[in-house]
Amino acid sequence: MGLLSKFMNALIGEPPVSKTATQPGPKLARQNVPNPTQQQTTQRKSTVQSRQTQQLTQPSQSSQLARSSYRAQTQTTARNTSVTTNRSRAQSHANSQPAQKLMPQPMLPAEQIERARNIIGKIEKHELSDEQISAIAGAGHNTLVLAGAGTGKTTTIVGYIAWLLNTGTATPEEILVLSFTKASADEMSSRITQSTGKVIRACTFHSLGLEICRSSTIANRPIIDGHTSNNVVRNAFEYLLEHNVSYRLLAFKLMSQQLLDKYSTAARLENFQLPTDDYAFNQYRQNLIDTTQTIIQHMRSNNIDIAGMQTLNERYGGKNIGRNRAMLQLIEPLYHAYIQNFKTNNGIDFPGMIVDAISCVNNGSYRHPYKYVLIDEYQDMSRPRYELIRALRLQHDFSLFCVGDDWQSIYRFAGSDIHLILDFDRIWRAWGPTFMFQITTTRRFRQSLIDASGAFVMRDTNLYVKHLNNPSDKKDYSLKALGGHTEEERFNVIVEQLRKLPKTASVLLLGRYRSDINLMIRCDQEGLFSIDQSTGNIRFLEKPDMDIRFMTAHASKGLQRDFVFLLCCSGGLKGFPSTIPEEPLLGLLLPEVERCPHAEERRLFYVAMTRCKKKLFFIVDQTRPSRFMYELHSKICPNIFRGVKLPPQCPNCGEALSLRHNRNDPNRSFYGCTGFPNCRYTQQAK
């Protein structure tokens, strides 16, 4: 169980379980999702969708007593909760044993699919697939649709809305669609209107939270935007760093021991001038500011204050408890400045907006009208968003229809918890039976890439098994490795390949970090490219009509281009997978790190692989290749590495081995790990 999840379970309590007779699917029991316990409920049966020879029942609404108890528990914060009395409850969750995963439902009979297709009609001028129709017409009270990359997730949601409207099951006012970005919500709204002719509420979770807040007793509070809040934190940090000696020494200590040793004596002076010409100092200072801003935002979104963080650290800080205490000392005055800023303005901050909305729902100042709630990109759900949906269902139940892809869960740093999709059945079974459907047909990319990317991501056995397919039986060669031992060599193979592509092709250069664009900037000695770093737009002067853009793998999610170059197929701290260590205090606030090594980095690499429609190029650092390259080479698609030789791989840590010479005897050589000094593996060269 994640540390924050343990703590919040102890604070919040657990949802009531319906006693309505149901036919649930296989149950899940992962460790950091609340396990519903039996409480008194009223019984109310209702018919859900009719499936062949199967009638489902809807769970009863919670009793007023259960709702009141829940509200009282959710309003309890870390500041006034006894840790000792909740220890056993948190430990009981941690000791729960995993159970079998949900199994996908079979497709409906052909005649039932055809009847449903006639009711739904064409969506965006196309008929839905049998898989999509089965998920729509076979949906239950809790429905999870696992849809792979390029399989039509949004189209399925639009089709489900058409089904609800055309069958008279719901009116437009009774349907809510939730997404995670304003752009995706606006696109969803437009596509729904175009296909159905009806206006359906489609918005982000924060937009819903703001609506709830403004329609309740805190209606007139202004929004304090993130930029303003971050500036408050930055200004408070800079002021204390310059004017407070003890705070300055604490900051240097948290930056690095080298900086502390270098400046500790001078930093004790009242008139000390910050070493703004020191590159290392500037880097560490910026990292501290960024980390502090992130931690404060997660504290707000999880409704936990400094006292709560101190309690969390004392219970779960482990070997990092000392550093965490120091970080909290650094953060405390910045946190208070942040809180004071929006309190002074009587404002609502974005991280706390959903927390405030939950409070409004629980105290009854907001009543929702929805019978059906649809969630797009469900794999991006965070604990606060889950708590908001849960509070709304406790107030007045509705059917839940969620579409997502566990293979594309890549936002843990923003609070997304993959267990909320992996454990979908377990967390929602209190509200009735759960069905899971899969949509596996994609036309976005070709079968060789489907096979390679699927085999790669499914090496994490905690994920759901899916076998995507492309209806075309055309033979293709969608992947190729291009290599170089130096940056210049890798730049040259990119240029050479771009010269071979069609002059009007769309091209995406993907990096793990924004700094990966430096490969193109540093090596372009002849001025072949015009690069706008602010937008990522790149102009190849030899082919000015070619559409080229650079972005990070995270930013590319949901996009597609003809050709994709993965620029960062190297090892090391800022390689792919990234091995930059997480700030321990932040780790207490985020969902638990998964047991599979580099699990989220693997999913991110999968997202990067599946952005292309025609061909994917891996730009391999042949001096220090990514461990993912070794995996593709040895287990998945060795044929794509023709002409690209990889050095031996370290059996200890997975990084590359490098040939080195003995200092005392130049004639003797050995292989040493490029992960040194973290890995000290060596072996004699033959």
318 is in an annotated binding site: no
DSSP letter at 659 equals E
154 is in an annotated binding site: yes
88 contacts: CB under 8 Å, gap ≥ 6: none
Q: Token pair of 41, please?
A: 């409920």
CB 360 within 8 A of CB 218: yes
153 is in an annotated binding site: yes
What's the CA gap between 15 and 528, in Å, rounded? 61
Comparing CA positions, the residue from 72, 189, 143, 12 lying closest to residue 432 is: 143
Give the CA count within 13 Å in the CB-facing half-sphere of 75: 11
19 is in an annotated binding site: no
- Helix-, strand-, coil-residue percentages of the chain, each rounded to 5: 45, 15, 40
682 is in an annotated binding site: no
Q: Which helix H or strand E contains 193, and what residues bound it?
A: helix 182-196
Distance from the Cα of residue 2 to its chain's centroid: 15
What's the CA gap between 589 and 596, in Å, rounded? 20
575 is in an annotated binding site: no
148 is in an annotated binding site: yes
- Return the sign of the alpha-carbon dihedral for residues 331, 337, 340, 345: negative
Dihedral over alpha carbons 122, 126, 131, 132 (to 10 degrees): -50
147 is in an annotated binding site: yes
CB 143 within 8 A of CB 437: yes
Q: What value, to the nearest 5°, has the Cα angle with vertex 490 and ends 486 and 494? A: 165
Edge to edge, the sheet with strand 669-673 lists: 657-661, 669-673, 682-684
**Measuring CA to CA, how many Å separate 476 from each of 34, 156, 369?**
46, 28, 51
Comparing CA positions, the residue from 55, 357, 1, 372 lying closest to residue 202 is: 372
Residues tagged in the binding site annotation for ATP: 147-154
List the binding residues.
147-154
